[in-house]
Amino acid sequence: MVAQAQQLFQAQNYGEAFNLVEQVLQNMPNNLPALILKGQLLGTAGRYTEAQQVIEHILQLDPNNAMGWSMQAVVSSNLGQHQQALTAVERSLELDAQNPETYAIKNNIMSNLAVAQTQTPEQSKSKLRSDPEPRKASQGFILGLALSILGIVAGLIGFGLMTFIASIPYIGLFVICISIGILCVNAARGAFHYGLVLLVETILVSVVLAGILGAMYKVGQASLIHQINLHPSLFMPVLVLVAWLIVSAAVPPVLALGGFVGGFPSRRRQKHA
């Protein structure tokens, strides 16, 4: 069960991992691997005070546990206790001097200590009170928007390939299919993991694509027909472009809504954890 919980932790399924660890600790409260994983999960969730209690239990059971001292260093640093963190990481290095991650933790603590020495008490308190949720939402929105733009650019490249390499239309069609895949996967996966912010982003992108399609119909219809009459080879690329716009505007919002609803239990467990 601990091994399964570790796999879930690596897959960022923190809620399920935490539930498994708790089941193990109910029967074996002194199980060190389970306690270490619980401390990591609590630290990942920002529950540093609870994580510190678990780490104290680990060090009571095994005072020479290098991982326990490393975790103590990380939690103390996140709580703003940089000097205690430095002492803990030095103890971890005494026990295991070959762990490169511990050296990275020490370097980070030294940096935080240097920054803390130049900050006022009010600035330090403000940093501790910062909420990671808005930051996560903004990162998710930026990532989703970047992938949406990538999908749109790929679709336009596919249209260009079909227009200028008419003898081999399958290359452009393949690129267009990839662009649709990017838009659809980004919509479903993003809304599943990030929730409402990615659902809104997907709807906004779809509205833009629908607006482009409407503009083509209202403003550029006569011009397009004229160009197709002059250059019949443009008929297939334009037809594919219209189909791509319709699919890209209509399908991703539906998938995003499904991902938003389907991911609600998982997001709720993570928020609770």
Tell me the pLDDT tens digit for each residue of 138-173.
777 788 888 889 988 988 888 888 877 766 777 888
Q: What pTM was computed for the model?
A: 0.46
Q: Give tens-digit pLDDT for 58-68.
A: 989 889 988 88
DSSP state, residue 119: S
Token representation of residue 220: 């550029």
As a whole number, the mean pLDDT across the chain is 81
* Cα atoms in the 13 Å half-sphere on the side-chain side of 114: 6
Q: Give tens-digit pLDDT for 184-215.
A: 988 888 888 878 888 888 888 888 888 887 87
pLDDT confidence band for 126 (50 / 70 / 90): low
User: Per-residue pLDDT for 93 more than 50?
Assistant: yes
Three-state DSSP class for residue 63: coil
- pLDDT, position 186: 87
